[in-house]
Chains A and B, each alone.
Chain A
Amino acid sequence: DIQMTQSPSSLSASVGDRVTITCRSSQSITTFLNWYQHKPGKAPNLLIYAASNLQSGVPSRFGGSGSGTDFTLTISSLQPEDFATYYCQQSYTTPYTFGQGTKLEIK
């Protein structure tokens, strides 16, 4: 299985901050990397697919980059509704695997 490692595991930030979350895969997954936002009691919400493509309806303050084994999710200016847990997921091959999550908390 391809292992996905996110860092940091948790992050405290303030409204208006720029935040970066990284995701590393145990082997090359080209650009088959997706990012999801997950709030308690809700379904995960797709933010970014294929490493850098913004899902329709997702605010432009979210951005993704990377290829191969190293990827980043950037939130350019944190809004109150962005405090949640973020997961990366590889769709290069089955079994699909997720990172362990990054919990973004209010400072």
Chain B
Amino acid sequence: QVQLQESGPRLVKPSETLSLTCTVSGDSINDYYWSWIRQPAGKGLEWIGRIYTSGNTNYNPSLKSRVTISVDTSKNQFSLKLNSVTAADTAVYYCARLARNDWHFDYWGQGTLVTVSS
């Protein structure tokens, strides 16, 4: 059974960088696309971006100037960095796997609440 677990600081100061890591267990990270998705309180789901295990990335244009997603296949992990954060970036952040066919999110992490506050 594939499992994903987000980790990283839960509190980030305004203008600083939000950093999260997703650790994948139960299967190799190789040969899949992996994504970050977030949900601000009381709002819907927003796709942040995806990375293939070759390192190829695609980002949501709304966040592209501030986002970097990277992968470390040796550790079966991928990571998110979001810089110059504001209170609007406060959200539950999920990592998820994209299935090879049809690009649906078939496995998700439990999510982690990151709060941007001084």
Which residues of B are found within 8 Å of A91, using beta-carbon distances? Answer: 98, 102-104
Does A89 interact with chain B (Cβ within 8 Å)? yes
Q: Check A43 against B104 for contact (C-beta < 8 Å).
A: no
Which residues of B are found within 8 Å of A67, using beta-carbon distances? Answer: none
Looking at chain A's contact residues, is the secondary structure mostly helix, strand, loop, or mixed? loop
Tell me whether A49 and B99 are in contact in the complex, defined as CB-CB below 8 angstroms, given that A89-B105, A91-B104, A94-B58 are known contacts. Answer: yes
Q: Check B44 against A43 for contact (C-beta < 8 Å).
A: no
Interface segment among B8-16, B68-76, B83-91, B106-114: the answer is: B106-114
User: Shortest beta-carbon distance, B64 to chain A, in Å?
Assistant: 9
Q: Check B44 against A34 for contact (C-beta < 8 Å).
A: no
Q: What is the total of A-B residue contacts with beta carbons within 8 Å?
A: 61
CA distance in complex: A44, B46 (Å):
13
Q: Check B108 against A96 for contact (C-beta < 8 Å).
A: no
Which residues of A are found within 8 Å of B103, using beta-carbon distances? Answer: 32, 91, 96
Q: Check B45 against A44 for contact (C-beta < 8 Å).
A: yes
Report the contact-size class of chain A (Cβ under 8 Å from the partner): 20 to 34
| CB interface residues, A 24-49, toward B, < 8 Å | 32, 34, 36, 42-46, 49
User: Shortest beta-carbon distance, B106 to chain A, in Å?
Assistant: 6
Tell me whether A44 and B108 are in contact in the complex, defined as CB-CB below 8 angstroms, given that A95-B60, A100-B44 are known contacts. Answer: yes
Closest B residue to A45 using CB positions = B108
Task: Digitize A80-107: 1 where CB-to-B-CB distance is under 8 Å, 0 elsewhere.
Answer: 0000000101010011111111000000
Does A55 interact with chain B (Cβ within 8 Å)? yes
Query: Which positions in B face A, CB cutoff 8 Å?
Result: 35, 44-47, 50, 58-62, 94, 98-99, 101-106, 108-111
